[in-house]
Structure 1
């Protein structure tokens, strides 16, 4: 190897070492700014913090409640109420108060309960999820909206009925099979109730098509036509478009993997998104009930798509500028429940004090002399022994034989001549002398202990009578 080749190799090696040294220095020694996403303690404690600040920045008056139990609904200001993560967990009393509050001209934003297996089977069979009909004129007066809703409900119900009749016919089912399936799947007594939205007939379920489209293909399959088509469907499924009344453009919402479906006989919404799976608005008296399929207004989802603009638009459905945000549906803490229901607590305490006073009044007066401990102890011992022998196997026979042997020994000691008689004549003589039935004397002195309480007592009483007669 000549000198020029060696020089080239050495220069190449030095170049590689220099490049490696530069990379190591840049990677290990240089300071660089990197963004790290962190959640503040306030955001962790309040999932609706971003929505609260957005509403206040846009002129709304916002107050929050930790749970529905803490909220006094009749005293809530007029405007909008957001029940975060409701999912049908409101109690019947809470739902009644909320619906009365909405009918006065307010807006309620909530989420429907998840669909049960029986309801899901009914929706699949009848195709009831496609029956949502949107009103044409959402700007009409409340009375006209109510009339339009009443007119639309029979039409929707008729469409459900026709769809229900056509589905089994297409599948080749008989009328008897259809009725049996309907009875098995539509029994409301077997399902949990959602008192807040049951009268609307809306449930939430997993969007199977969206879940399927969002499944990531393998690296080697990404360029295949079916993978490209699946990616296109995923992009389309990822968005729900909602055109607000009076607006010329559509809001884009994250469709997620949850959608709303209508049960059979569901109420038609005033307006909704394109497929009715993300947002639905219903008339309730003078107010509005807005059902959303997902928590669009939480800290993590509010910045996405047009969720913030949707929140501001929904708070403008009613004239009131006051917004109440219910953060969660946990039960009321015991001390707050105690403070709210203080009348019941005071009445209970008064009743307890009265019972304690009554029990103390019974102890007034002179003390009774204590009985002698020895006599009481002996009587208790005899009573306990007799009770144990009565229940033990062969114990009754032991009691009877003890009384019988003692009685016969006394008679033999007082009148020994009687025992020279035959046994039958002896029983007759004892019965005649003591004015007792001969059968009772024979049963007491000859037969086994009776299992019945009355007969056993008669045996013991007969022996005691004989003993008392010959002791005199």
Structure 2
């Protein structure tokens, strides 16, 4: 019976699965879906990665470097050097090294990084100043470049080639303009707003100055003819992209090549500071072991109380001592009225009642003169000594 039941269940399951599979086969439609996960880590780390891949697809050899040390092994002939990184820390020696490489036959392409200053007659961009090209804001131009009639794209830069009927269109930033005051340029490219690219013959090589290189970053390289311009400027050369031209400081060079000397110098400075800060001169003599006399202690205590508490505490202490002695000589003294107390004290001390009254009068907050204070203390001491 059990075997028959299990066989029926298995047959039923096979029928259900078969019917489901047949239904899906007849009605299900396969399709493909692309999921965009965004730029790869390589693309996020290198904004010119698409430019590198484009040039390699066009048959150009592309390398990138992080310092000008590459010039020591990079032959000028047949090579292009693209300076796309920040160059504010470039030294004069490095600028000369780059231009000497271009003069020897290299193809140099760089971005103008600073504006020309008429007051100082320089921009601070060493490469730009040495090739005598000035950069300024387009809005400061007195006479913008002449626009073509019926120009449909005035904000795009036009690059004209021989034997070509239409220009190539490049999306340079129109906020900046390149000026050639000495008319050294062999070719240039303008938008309807300003000049954005200038090419110079430089010795056996060439120099190309751009207002910006954002046209070759992702995704701008896919717009207009931006990618074509990158290929055109580097045709028939091996391309080296240089992203970092910062030269190390003196301390960085010293630490790189002479770390032991710097550590020894730091130790010597520390020892010198320790020696300079040590105690100089004879030691102080120890305090004498002889003790002060009781009178000196009492005078010092009285001076301290007078400086910090005033005259009142000293006078009140003498008055309290007089009343304490009077209680021992005359039981019930504290229960008497003040006038009766003065009579008792006058009798016990053989002093006039007026003198007793004056000596025991309450201490006011008013400060007494030195003579009055001494006179009051003398009265109180005479009264106390008589008891």
**What TM-score does the superposition give when structure 1 sets the normalisation length?**
0.42
Quick check: which one's helix share is greater? 1
Larger relative contact order (C-alpha < 8 A, sep ≥ 6)? 1
**What TM-score does the superposition give when structure 2 sets the normalisation length?**
0.50
Highest Rg: 1 or 2? Answer: 2
